[in-house]
Amino acid sequence: MKKKARASLLGALVLAGCLDGPVGDLRPYQEEDPADAAPGASDVEAGGPVSFARDIRPLMNRPNGPRAGCKECHYPSQPNPQGFDLTGLDLSSLGALRKGGVSTGRGIVVAGQPDASALVQKLEGTYARGVRMPKDRGPWSVDEIALVRRWILEGAKGADDE
């Protein structure tokens, strides 16, 4: 390295060291190590497409709790699936989900149009009929609903058995 270049590098380092705040947080040369990513991090966080089976199904499968899924009330295999019994909406497979329930029908998922999809409206509590889902449980987080929105925007792809 030439003397002059070394001097200006030193100057930059001194300057950076003297500055507080955002400049110190830039860490421009630090590569992100995939091993540091949160557990469950996937292609999605890297900007890849949402997969229904990998990213959304596990959310629906969650048991009753603060962040409940849909299984308890919309999977016919459960002892008291009140959502399924009342509306016919079976969420236990993607093929069944696409058929919707008595009021939503095929409008449950409108590929490419999250705002027009009753699934999103039910999760956000904006659907014209009934209550926000999961009924009587805490709402899904903004990030969780964003996954559903993105999956629909990307064409709501997936096989019937997902």
Residues at the site binding ligand HEC, with contacts judged by CB under 6 A: 60, 68-70, 72-74, 82-83, 86-87, 89, 100-104, 108, 118-119, 122-123, 129-131, 133-137
Residue number, 118 or 147, with CB nearest to ligand HEC: 118
- Number of residue whose CB is nearest ligand HEC: 130
With tokens 């997969």, the residue in question is 51
Give least dist CB 72 to ligand HEC, A.
Answer: 5
- Min dist CB 114 to ligand HEC, Å, is 13
CA distance 87 to 96: 13
The angle at the Cα of 36, spanning 147 to 47, to the nearest 5 degrees, equals 30
Return the closest-CA partner of residue 81 out of 91, 72, 90: 72
The distance of closest approach from Cβ of residue 110 to ligand HEC in the complex, given in angstroms and rounded to an integer, is 13
Nearer to ligand HEC, 51 or 148 (CB): 148
The distance of closest approach from Cβ of residue 10 to ligand HEC in the complex, given in angstroms and rounded to an integer, is 57
- Identity of the residue, 54 or 135, whose beta carbon is nearer to ligand HEC in the bound complex: 135
Comparing CB distances to ligand HEC, the nearer of 43 and 136 is: 136
